[in-house]
Amino acid sequence: MLLRDPLTDPRDPAYRIARKLRLEPGACVRPTAGLSPGEAAADREKYLLLATQAVEGGYDAVNIYDRGIVSWGLMQWAAHENSLQEALWYMKGRLLRKNKGRVWAALWKAHGLDVQRGPGGAPAFFVGGPDAWRPVVGKDALRVLFRGTKKVGKYDPVTATRWAKVFCRAGRDRTVQALQVEWATARLRACLGQRIDGAWRARDFSRGDLFSDALTFALWTNNPRACHEHLRRAVRASRLVTGEADPADWPAGLFPLLWEQTARRSEFGVWPKRAAAIARLVPVGQVGRHRAFQELASRGWQIHALQRGGGRLWRREPPKPATAKAPKPAAAKAPKPGPSQAAAPARDKG
């Protein structure tokens, strides 16, 4: 467990980008457990989870130093968007159905924390005890619970340390780890099944490309709305190049290339670094993307135009070959009048 201040400590790895990412002083736990390459080698979905884990965290990773208020686990489910409450609600239900309610009681309720249906019907944190549970709803209340104060940029080290240890211990429980994989797999399927344009879903554009699916899930895990918008940019660029609306008619490697370039040139958070990390972790398809890049460049397409948010791909038309101009014919000169052609003197009419 570590107390960190990325805003003022130059030694912190996130010091240079702390303000851009709106980080705060707080507590964190580095992951010590997670999916292994051996587990993911023979399972496509676990392979995709492994790639996201590399840019998010492991089973026991805890983050109490950014706007997520508290984030935990394989996908760093966060309290401020209710994804943490939803993940824990799923895990609690699975434990109760498997007659393992004692695991939930020992890891969470023993520390005065539970997850139940909140006032609006969505899963919510509850604090208290067996006879007096009360809901914790709203970002201010969540900040007070997990950081000790609702003031942004402030925190109580004792409170943050306590909850970092509680979540960390839960993440090291083998039963909870298996449930994390279950829930993350369900979220992966939901991500790739999201509608991007009309009836087309994310998986329709990737068409089974492992890199594209890994990049989609890694960005969607960080921010679903921004991922959806970036996907639409890559789709627009692919249609512009091919003139075809149906992704089944696109050349292999085209969409993966434009999807990667859209993410690498994004101005959202640190997505260019995230995209580069996924490209290193999932080398599958690099040759196809490189060939697509060369083909587009040879046809004059300007890949760099995807830069700066809503940039559109455009094509530089090849210069027209110069043609030699034909010499203009010389204008014929009128002959000078000779002696016989001289004008007669005008006669006097008088």
Q: Are residues 275 and 180 both part of a single domain?
A: no
Q: Are residues 164 and 26 both part of a single domain?
A: yes
CA separation, residue 108 to residues 5, 128, 165 (Å): 27, 11, 11
List the pLDDT tens digit at each of the 350 positions of the chain: 888 887 788 887 877 777 877 788 899 999 999 999 999 998 999 999 999 999 999 999 999 998 889 999 999 999 999 999 999 999 999 999 999 999 999 999 999 999 999 988 999 999 998 788 999 999 999 999 999 999 999 999 999 999 999 999 999 999 999 999 999 999 999 999 999 998 999 999 999 999 999 999 999 999 999 999 999 999 998 998 889 999 999 998 999 999 999 999 898 888 999 999 999 999 988 888 888 888 887 877 766 665 444 445 544 544 555 555 555 555 555 555 555 444 444 444 44
Domain finish residue from 166, 185, 204: 185
**Would 333 be classed as within a structural domain?**
no
Q: Which residues contact 152 (CB under 8 A, 6 or more apart)?
A: 24, 143
**Would 28 be classed as within a structural domain?**
yes
**Would 327 be classed as within a structural domain?**
no
Q: Are residues 145 and 217 both part of a single domain?
A: no
Domain residue limits at 262: 196-315
Q: Are residues 164 and 233 both part of a single domain?
A: no
Q: What is the pLDDT of residue 330?
A: 59
Query: Domain tally for the chain?
Result: 2
**Would 335 be classed as within a structural domain?**
no
Q: Are residues 43 and 147 both part of a single domain?
A: yes
Q: Are residues 143 and 224 both part of a single domain?
A: no
- Torsion sign, CA atoms 320, 323, 325, 326: negative
**Would 242 be classed as within a structural domain?**
yes
Q: Are residues 202 and 146 both part of a single domain?
A: no
Q: Are residues 282 and 172 both part of a single domain?
A: no
Domain finish residue from 151, 185, 219: 185
Phi then psi dihedrals of residue 133, to 5 deg: -80, 135
**Would 342 be classed as within a structural domain?**
no
Q: List the one residue out of 289, 205, 193 whose CA is nearest residue 245.
A: 205
Domain finish residue from 153, 185, 217: 185
**Would 339 be classed as within a structural domain?**
no
Q: Are residues 149 and 247 both part of a single domain?
A: no
CA–CA separation, 204 and 250 (whole Å): 11
CA–CA separation, 291 and 320 (whole Å): 26
Asked if 241 and 296 count as a contact pair (C-beta separation under 8 A), the reply is yes
Q: Are residues 176 and 38 both part of a single domain?
A: yes
**Would 107 be classed as within a structural domain?**
yes
The pTM assigned to this predicted structure is 0.83
Asked if 202 and 192 count as a contact pair (C-beta separation under 8 A), the reply is yes
Q: Are residues 218 and 164 both part of a single domain?
A: no
Q: Are residues 175 and 30 both part of a single domain?
A: yes
